[in-house]
Structure 1
């Protein structure tokens, strides 16, 4: 019988400042932090095994960023937090750590939707919800053009009063089109000349019945 090495997986929740490291550098910073902390880590190509969750875009505010790390030993989560905290840099801070089953799927695979608070957005969100005709044009690399129904690209959208709008959008859609383009295509919604402030408030995974469950229930 072949014995396999036991691996312990931990999910880290980080907060970030407005001038934090770009997402391209976040993984390297976390790998360096794990290596310098002194914990016995599982390696992949001589680097600590670290998997990032879906990251917010550069220049975009978020309440939380997530990552999974794999260790060769079981460590109390508070002890692990104390060991990692001094080495976490670039405008990030460790808020929570929890041990999760090693077999649990990755954050990238689990999280399909993101919820945003946007401002300023002018228009009537009810019209946007009912607008099944608005379309977005996609230009493919081969030169072919395709039209997609804009309303189908979002899960939910609602006004929070004033010029604040809350929207839940599929992450694959977000990467393909961007929030500004989706909003502009929906009837009655216009992104003003001022820069659109975007705060990613939550990540969601989809239940089998199509309802969404937040990865973590944020307090703010």
Structure 2
């Protein structure tokens, strides 16, 4: 394991911050029916092409052995992304950037590391499995493209859980002050890996 293991003493990587206008949700899950699935299809049409946004919050991650957390800024600019995590104690920043041409991770001892994509780069350097492609859709409350998904809804008719590609994604809170409502706490798990995001703010547009 590379020096990124510093997370044992200074949590680094996925989130848990409460959004000011978020609604806390009871663990009520209902299978999709014509109404809720129709509303979700409308949501996916409205947000499916939304690929210019910035997410601010906190991130925590675990691979079953090591775990940590830190503040997160995730900027999505079309196919390109910038995923920056800041450790709370050391103040060090880890920045994952890339696009269709590949990915680069800055902040590790020994200089930047490069790989063909964000997921394989994270797996090879840190030993964590973070489903970056799917997560880009899940954080918006959408099903990821290209794979079958089971979806359940809460009493508010918003997604409560999505099971897709071996991952279980639980929506713990939604920011109902926004239109459309946006997730504010998203927990994704595929044993032994866990990714938790707590979203403080969304900004849309270039």
Q: TM-score, normalised by structure 1?
A: 0.24
Q: Which has the higher helix share?
A: 1
The structure number with the bigger radius of gyration is 1
The higher-RCO structure (CA 8 Å, 6+ apart) is 2
Q: TM-score, normalised by structure 2?
A: 0.25
